[in-house]
A and B are shown apart, each in its own frame.
Chain A
Amino acid sequence: MIKAEQKSIEKLLEYLAPYGKIMLAGCGACVTVCQAGGEKDVALLASALRMARQKTGQPLEILEVTPARQCEPEFALELADPIGKVEAVLSVSCGVGVQTLARHFPATMIFPGVNTKFLGETVAHGVWEERCQACGDCLLEKTAGICPIARCAKQLLNGPCGGSSQGKCEIKQETDCAWQLIYDRSKSLGRLHRLTEMIPAKRWGVQSRDSGPRRIVREDLKV
C-alpha cells in the first residue's frame, strides 16, 4: 500500500496560521495502515493542533472526518456539505487524496498533511519498507518475486554490482542486496535458470515516467 509520514506539526501550524475553522480529513485506507492519517491519527493531530492554538490565544475549530477513501469521487463528494462550512482543509491522505479533493472542491484550499513516501510492505509493527515503484511493467516473475527496481539501489536488472558483499548493498550497508535475495529465492524455487535470461533495460521515457501522468482506460467499464 501507499506509505506516508505526517509532516511536522510546526509545518502544519504554519499552513493553518491564517484560519480559524478547518476540516481535518483522514482516509480509511493506506494511511490508516501506516498510522499517518487514519481516524485515530486525525483525532490525535486535531488535539495537538487545538492545543497549539490554545497556547497562542487563537483557537482553531477543527471538523474531523475520515472517509473510507479520499481518492474516489463518491467518497470525496460526501465531504461537499461540510467543506462548505470551513475555511480550508488539511488532508492527511496521500497525495492522490489531496488532489482528488482539490479537483472536486476548487474553491477550497486543500493542504497536504503528510509526505507520501512509497509503495511498501509492513515488515514489522511500526516498520514499513519500499517494495514497488510502479514501473508499469512488472518483472517479478523473472526475479522470483523480488523487485530490483524498488530494492536495488542501482536498479540493476541483470545481477548484482561488484559492491555486493555478504548479502549486503555497498550503497547502504544495512540493506540486503536485492540480487542476493533474488538469487537465493530463485535457487530455493528451482528457477535459477531464469536468471540467465537477459532482462532488457526499462524504457522509462516510453513506458512511464517521462510523459506526464499515466492513465489506464477500461472501455468495457466506461458508462
Chain B
Amino acid sequence: MSNFEPRIVAFCCEQSGVPAAEMAKSLKLEMPSDLEFVPVPCSGRIETLQLMKALESGADGVVVFACHEENCRYLQGNRRLKGRVGYAKRLIAGIGWEKERLDVFNLATNDGVKFAELLREKAEQLRPLGPSPGK
C-alpha cells in the first residue's frame, strides 16, 4: 500500500483547466505521476456516465477542473456539471465506494500553481484509500 500511486483521471475544461495545466507544466511544478488529462471544451460537456465509466474502468480518482461559477464561457456549463458530479457522488456513496474518489474544482486560466497543488492534495487523499474497488 505504501508504494501505491493512485491513477487520477482529470477532466479539464479548455477555458480553465487546460491553460492551468499548461502553466503548471511550464513551471515544472510537481504533480502526481499517474495522471490522465481529458480536455473538454466546457465542463458542461461531461456526462455523469463519463465520470462513472472512468471510475468503473479503473481510475482510483476522478477530478474535474471547471471554471468558477459565473465565469462559464457557455453560461451554465459548469453549473450543469456541478449537478452531475453531485448525482454521481450520491450514486458512489450508495454503492459503498469512497466519495473522495470523485471531485470537482473551480479555477481560472492562470491558476497553474493551484492546479498542481489540488492534484497533489487529491493524490494524498487517495493513497490511504488504496486502489479502486473497480480493479
Please indicate the chain A residues that have their CB under 8 angstroms from the CB of B48 in the complex. Answer: 44
Number of A residues near B (Cβ < 8 Å) is 16
Residue ID in chain A nearest B47 by CB atoms: A40
Q: Which residues of chain B are near A13, meaning CB under 8 Å? A: 95
Q: Most A CB atoms within 10 A — which of B52, B83, B95, B96?
A: B95
| Secondary structure class of chain A's binding surface, majority of residues | helix
A50 to B133, CA, bound (A): 11
Tell me, yes or no, whether A81 is within 8 Å of chain B by CB.
no
Which bracket fits the contact residues of B?
Answer: 10 to 19
Interface membership of A43, Cβ < 8 A:
yes
- A47 in contact with B94 given A40-B49, A55-B133 (CB within 8 Å): no
- Let me know if A51 and B49 touch, CB within 8 A: no
**A9 and B95 contact, CB distance less than 8 A:** yes
Q: With a CB–CB cut-off of 8 A, which chain A residues contact B97?
A: 51, 55
Contact A51 to B94, CB < 8 A, known contacts A40-B49, A44-B48, A44-B49 = no
> Which chain A residue shows the least CB distance to B135?
A54
CA of A10 to CA of B96 in the docked complex: distance in angstroms? 9
Docked CA distance A9–B95 (Å): 7
Question: How many pairs of residues, A versus B, come closer than 8 Å at their CB atoms?
Answer: 43
B68 surroundings in chain A (CB, below 8 A): none
CB atoms of B49 and A54 under 8 A apart: no
A1–B3 Cα gap in the complex (Å)? 54
Taken together as a complex, chains A and B put the C-alpha atoms of A40 and B53 apart, in Å, by 13
**Cβ-defined contact, B95 with A51, below 8 A:** yes
Residue A135 at the chain B interface, CB threshold 8 Å: no
A48 within 8 A of B: yes
Determine if B96 and A47 form an interchain contact, defined as CB atoms under 8 angstroms apart: no
Partner of A54, one of B47, B91, B92, B134: B134
Given A48-B91, A50-B56: A55 in contact with B49 (beta carbons within 8 A): no
With A9-B91, A9-B95, A13-B95 already in contact, the answer to whether A51 and B47 are too (CB < 8 A) is no
A175 within 8 Å of B (CB atoms) = no
Is the CB–CB distance between B47 and A55 below 8 Å?
A: no
Contact A55 B94 (CB under 8 A): no
Interface: A8 (CB within 8 A): yes
Interface pair A52/B96, CB less than 8 Å apart: yes
Segment 40-97 of A: residues with Cβ below 8 Å from B: 40, 43-44, 47-52, 54-55
On B, residues with C-beta under 8 Å from A are: 47-49, 52-53, 55-56, 83, 91-92, 94-97, 133-134
* 6 extra interface residue pairs, beta carbon distance < 8 Å, beyond A47-B53, A51-B56: A8-B94, A9-B95, A44-B48, A52-B94, A52-B95, A126-B83
